[in-house]
Amino acid sequence: MKKKRTNPMKIPATQADVDRALERGVRDGVRSASAIFLTVLCDKFSGGDYVADVWAEINKLSEEVMEHRVSLKDLERVLEDEYGIVC
């Protein structure tokens, strides 16, 4: 007699599974937004000379955000206060 297969959609997720999925989603979102930003920087503003340095700094800052050493609200506030950029 064959054993009945369990539908993977019915297997409960642990909190660790949810946390990993959230972290993966945030990381993928940052990478996508960074790729768009850097492409525009290179194509429209001749940023090719220093784009590798910008990429490294974006990764460093995104890690700090994920480790809760820097908040996105703080970054948005600095952009608005110092540069007039409203996120």
pLDDT per position as a tens digit, 36-76: 988 888 888 887 778 888 889 988 998 898 889 999 899 99
Share of the chain above pLDDT 70, in %: 99
Please state the pTM of the whole predicted model.
0.61
> Burial code of 37-63, b = ≥16 C-beta within 10 A, e = fewer?
ebeebeeeeebeeeeeeeeeebeeebe
Q: Which H helix or E strand runs over 40?
A: helix 15-45
Rounded distance between C-alpha atoms, residue 78 and residue 61, angstroms? 14
pLDDT of res. 75: 93
Q: List the Cα angle 45/51/56 in 5-degree steps.
A: 145
Residue 65, exposed/middle/buried by CB under 10 A (0-12, 13-18, 19+)?
middle
Taking residues 6-31, report their average pLDDT. 85
